[in-house]
Every structure is written in structure tokens, then in C-alpha cells.
Amino acid sequence: MDLNIDTYITRTRQPGTGKLWVISGPSGVGKGTLVKAVLAQLEQVVLSVSMTTRSPRPGEVEGRNYFFRTREAFEALIQEDAFLEYAQYNGNYYGTPIHFVQEALTQGQDVILEIEVQGGAQVRAKMPEHARGIFVLPPSGAVLEERLRNRQTEDEAVIQQRLNRVQEELGYFSEYDYCLINDDLSLAVQQLKSIIQAERLKL
């Protein structure tokens, strides 16, 4: 008897069905840490390297952490429609180069965008069929502050600017599809992987 199962299996493997994972949350919550772990543990998922006008932190590498550009160069690229989304965050531009994202999605890869909330809204509006949002929360406000300070990458004024944005960022919370609380790191990594893997099995 031909049960025709193959037809259904084929339908689960359409090319070009990668998802665009928008990962947002307050500065210092652990987005970068979570994403790094997931990239090392999951196949077929890539990180979109953003462009920014902020200065590199010690140890940050051009093309790996960010593409570091002047304001003039960034604004020229805005005119050329080179960004899927871009926003200003504490006086600097940050944006997602569109070409890399399009290529990776076409190849069926999942793409992670570690971006702030205004950019997240632009991605949802432009690519609703691909975009899936994950908002990362800290276990408490005190822990968030502690992580931001202990990271020792910003001076006190910049830390305050970042904390001042938290309420505004939380205002976008309900626009996201999933929420993770990054308390125990290995649990949060496991949960992030589960979300991505479950979405791959969705019809």
C-alpha cells in the first residue's frame, strides 16, 4: 500500500524558510553571552554582524563584533538603502546590513539579530513572515546593574545612559513572541536553543 508519506515529509523541508531571530533586552542582560553559546551549539544558525558608529571596546574585532564606521560612512549607506533596519542608541548609529541577511535566509539558515527595540520593530514590520522576537529579561534590576558594572566596558556616565533606556525598552516587551529570563546561564542557553529548534519543526 502506498501511504504517500514522502509527500508530507517533503513539505517539511522547503528551502528558504530560515527565520530571522530578533533578540532584544536591556544592555548588560546577557544577549551577547547567550547568542555566542547558541551559535557554538546549533547548526544552521548564523549571526548578522551589525554596523555601528560607536568606538570599539578593548578586544572587539572589526567584522566580528561589528563593522565600525564613521557617521559619514554610515549616513551614506542609509542613503543607499543598505540596511534592513537602523536606529540611534545613546548617540550612535547601529544597523543591520541587508545583503547578508537576505543571502542567509535564502540558503535556509536561521539568522540572529542582536538589536535594540526600535530596530526590532522595523524588522517585524518589514519581514513579518520571517521575524520572530525574543526579549531577554534579567532576574532583577539589581542584577542587571551589577552585570553592566562588572563587565567593565563602559564608564559610569555611559552605564547611566544605558540604565536610563531600560523603561523605554521594556515598553516594547509585549511585541515580542518569546521571553527568556537570563538567571542561570546554562538554563537560558538551553531555552534559547529550544525556541529556535521548536520553530524549525513548525509547519
Binding interface with ligand ADP (CB under 6 A)? 27-33, 147, 150-151, 182, 185, 188
| Closest-CA residue to 44 (of 80, 17, 83) | 17
Residue pair 28/148 in contact by the 8 Å Cβ criterion: yes
Closer to ligand 5GP by Cβ: residue 115 or 196: 115
User: What residues between 46 and 65 interact with ligand 5GP by CB under 6 A?
Assistant: 50, 54
- Residue 110 binding result from ligand 5GP, ligand ADP, none, given CB thresholds of 5 to 8 Å by partner type: none
**Distance spanning both ends of the chain, measured CA to CA:** 26
The piece of 89-97, 99-107, 172-180, 181-189 that touches ligand 5GP (CB under 6 A) is 89-97
Nearest approach in angstroms of CB 183 to ligand 5GP is 19
Q: How far apart are CA 2 and CA 202, in angstroms?
A: 25
| Closest-CA residue to 22 (of 103, 84, 114) | 114
Residue pair 29/15 in contact by the 8 Å Cβ criterion: no
Answer for which of 35, 47, 69, 89 binds ligand 5GP (CB under 6 A) is 89
Mapped onto helix, strand or coil, the DSSP state of residue 44 is coil
* Residue 94 binding ligand 5GP, by CB under 6 A: yes
Question: Where do the H-state alpha helices sit in the chain?
Answer: 5-11, 31-41, 71-79, 98-106, 117-126, 141-151, 156-164, 166-170, 185-200
Residue pair 80/73 in contact by the 8 Å Cβ criterion: no
User: What residues between 106 and 145 interact with ligand 5GP by CB under 6 A?
Assistant: 114-116, 118-119
Closer to ligand ADP by Cβ: residue 151 or 193: 151
* Residue 96 binding ligand 5GP, by CB under 6 A: yes
Closer to ligand 5GP by Cβ: residue 54 or 193: 54
Q: Which residues bind ligand 5GP (CB under 6 A)?
A: 27, 31, 50, 54, 85, 87, 89, 94-96, 114-116, 118-119
